[in-house]
Amino acid sequence: MGNQPRLVIDGLRASVEGKEILQGVSLDVKGGEVHAIMGPNGTGKSTLASAIMGHPKYEITGGSVTLDGEDVLSMAVDERARAGLFLAMQYPSEITGVTNADFLRSAINARRGEGNELSLIRFIRLMEAKMKTLEMDPAFAHRYLNEGFSGGEKKRNEILQMMLLEPKLVILDEIDSGLDIDAMRIVAAGVNELRSEERGFLIITHYQRLLTYIKPDVVHVMMRGAIVKSGGPELVERLESEGYDWVKEELGIEDETVGKEPEVKMPMNTIAPRH
Amino acid sequence: MSTQTILPADRDSVIELSRSRQEPEWMTGLRADGLDLAGKLELPKLDKVRIDRWNLNFLGVHQATREVTDPRDLPEAATRLLDTDALPNNLLIHYNSGVAYSRLSPDLASRGVIFCSMEQALKDHGELVRNYFMNIIKKEENLLTALHAGLWSGGAFLYIPRNVVIEEPVQAIFYIDDSQARFAPHVLIVAEANSAVTYVDTYGSGELTNHLVKNAITEVFVHPGARVNFASTLNLDKSITDLSYRRGHVENDGQINWVIGEMNYGDSMSDTTSLLMGSGSSSDAKVICVGSGEQKLSLTTRAVHFGKATDSDMITRAVMRDQSTAIINGITKIEKGATGANGQQTEKVLMLSPRARGDANPILLIDEDDVKAGHAASVGQVNADQLYYLMSRGISREQAMKLIIYGFLAPVVSEIPISRIQEQLQDLVERKLGHERRANS
Ligand SMILES: Nc1ncnc2c1ncn2[C@@H]1O[C@H](COP(=O)(O)OP(=O)(O)O)[C@@H](O)[C@H]1O
Ligand SMILES: [Mg+2]
């Protein structure tokens, strides 16, 4: 029990570019649990992930986030990571001139802390072993970070980082997008291998297939920047077969998205200018 | 520039020195003409840079150079880049106003390769040198080229005969620690048909007690089918104003590749030009610089396409700190008749300080229809998403900034062909960025 982490999100509100996106999100994820957040595009899922990780564009306007009781929101991004948070991003950055291996080594050593760095040899052994598990071409170690990687290669590289950094609380944002079935199996195996009492997962996806490989304990549906429904794994099956319309109907939601610019409607009686 | 500091008293001493060193008559004449022209010509007109306001007052006085038979007899600082117990086979060391040491592998010498001081070349290969010396860069161009013709001293002559391919890089070191010394080396490289060479030089200095101008010219003549890889790193003290012209003349199917690391601390003007004369000739130029302090930099890369189906590519990347200023010009000129030419260029400036300034000026001058030309230029700060991404893996802000900045320069640093010099350039970058040196692990 002592090592079981716990992420508590309470009434989290966040805005981007002056638009309020998160409308009070609350979640409680403990070590050993896998929570899935599902929802159509544009409902605020990535915003939630970014707000937890501390992306500078997202302004927190209310609520709290704690990891093992510590206030996450007052930490800098790198402190959050060193505290044990990990976010596999929907759109990882490409960085020219920084090799994947140099980056991974810097990240591991940052997590391990000064005086406890991994020797180059041991690092290479570790990296190569994990790359093998993920069936990644060893050449990716020497390529510039994410530069010229296909969508699927970027996703594998995110999972590689997760495996090397061994975080306490993992958020996977659309890790399944851009993956074919084989790749998804490999990625899911990587995630399942890390499942333990010492680690919690928050898996964001807008479709169901990944969740047949990674069985969630709790499933949440996000719409309009809030969790509108929570349930067990059976919720995945219902969404799979029936889509999201029944949820919207049940809750009286017409447009599930959030933060959209008001639509500009053309007046009906406009006459096109003559030339 | 106060040319009166040279004229007329210096004119006589320059000519006297030329005679006393038994330079050929044509060289003495060239010097005299150069100095005469210097009295009439203007400084070059640089885009957005008032070079006439730079400190260009002191050109130094020629100092005789004591030659050594062992580089270990030179100051340690001058040979820091060498493993003096395992010297490169092809090495030349220019110290203050002249060449103090040079060597060439017996094998290359027996194949007709020449690598020696410019003075020695005038003695032993006068007519050969005469065909090229200041024929690519002309004394008539401006005050600086005229002055150089008059005052040059030291530098290297590298000649590669037809079909000779040199595998091991040829290395030259230029070092100055005498505040009074004239520093105006001339480097001439001639690659005959189908030959190939990689030449790498490094410029370094001690801390000088007064302000001094470096006025250097490098000329490279690439005959048909030859290839010259040229790399240069510059790390001169704040007290030195660096004025450097480099120019390659490339014949049919010839190729020139430039890699330049501008890590000076003083004001610097550099102009690196490829003249693609022959059809099928090509050039590639990669330049990096870090501006710091109150440095003013004018960096120009230029490709001029005369031949058909010629190819050029130019990349300049600059990181600007403090109150430094850089004007970065990329000039692609495609002449009428250069059909099938393809000229590309990219200038990128990374601003690290709100008080720094960096201008990227891509210029395409195209007088032919059937060509391709492209440019990309950007001036920006460290990308916030990249910084966030690295930090989200636990890397500190400071370390993440370093990774991004070094990464920005890495594609050029990695092109330096001698690993010791590549490491040195990396160290120079770190020092210029104000980061502590890496532990030697
Ligand atoms: N970086 C951003 N810049 C501007 N608007 C954003 C940004 N990120 C999110 N938004 C806004 O938030 C809404 C929800 O986006 P997002 O959180 O990415 O949804 P999801 O991940 O569920 O598809 C978007 O429709 C958009 O209006
Ligand atoms: Mg998203």
How is chain A split into domains, by residue range?
A: 6-95+167-267
User: SS in 3 state form for B302-362?
Assistant: EEEECCCCCEEEEEEEEEECCCCEEEEEEEEEECCCCCCCEEEEEEEEEECCCCCEEEEEE
Which secondary-structure segment (H or E) carries B125? none
Looking at the domain that runs over A6-95+167-267, which CATH code has it been given?
3.40.50.300
Number of domains in chain B: 1
Question: Does A81 sit within 8 Å of B403, measured CB to CB?
Answer: no
Ligand nearest to the CA of A177: 2
Question: What residues contact residue A132 under an 8 Å CB cut-off, 6+ apart?
Answer: none
Residue B128 domain flag? yes
Task: With CA atoms as reference, report the closest residue to B155 among B221, B223, B85, B216.
Answer: B216
Residue B406 domain flag? no
**Mean pLDDT across chain B, nearest whole number?**
94
Which of A21, A37, A53 most suits a substitution to test ligand 1, by most atoms within 8 Å of the C-beta?
A21
Which residues form the domain of B344?
11-381
Residue B386 domain flag? no
Residue B409 domain flag? no
Taking residue B284's Cβ as centre, other Cβ atoms within 10 Å add up to 19
Longest CA–CA span in chain B (Å) reads 69
Tell me whether the omega of the peptide bond preceding residue A167 falls within 30 degrees of 0, making it cis. no
Q: Please give the average per-residue pLDDT across A237-252, as a whole number.
A: 92
Residue B19 domain flag? yes
**Is the predicted pLDDT of residue B349 greater than 70, yes or no?**
yes
Q: With the C-alpha atoms ordered B20, B23, B26, B32, is the resulting torsion angle positive or negative?
A: negative
Residue B268 domain flag? yes
pLDDT in tens, B52-67: 999 898 899 999 999 9
Percent of all residues in chain A with a pLDDT value above 90, rounded to a whole number = 84
Give the three-class secondary structure for A117: coil
Burial class (CB in 10 A: 0-12, 13-18, 19+), B162: middle
pLDDT in tens, A143-200: 999 999 999 999 999 999 999 999 999 999 999 988 888 889 998 998 999 999 999 9
Locate all alpha helices (DSSP H) within B83-238, ordered by sequence: 106-110, 118-124, 126-132, 143-151
DSSP E strands, chain A: 6-16, 19-30, 34-38, 58-67, 70-71, 85-88, 95-99, 144-145, 169-173, 200-205, 218-223, 226-231
**Mean pLDDT across chain A, nearest whole number?**
92
Residue B411 domain flag? no
| C-alpha dist (Å) from residue A270 to A49, A264, A274 | 44, 14, 12
In chain A, residues with a C-beta closer than 8 Å to the C-beta of B384 are 56-57
**Measuring from atom 7 of ligand 1, which residue has the nearest CA?**
A16
User: How much is the pTM?
Assistant: 0.89
Q: B156 forms bridges with which residues in the sheet?
A: B117
ipTM of predicted assembly, 2 dp: 0.94
CA distance B319 to B207: 24
Question: Which residue bears the tokens 């490339």?
Answer: B250
In chain A, residues with a C-beta closer than 8 Å to the C-beta of B378 are none
* CA angle, B277 then B279 then B283, to 5°: 65
B315 touches chain A (CB under 8 A): no
Residue B4 domain flag? no
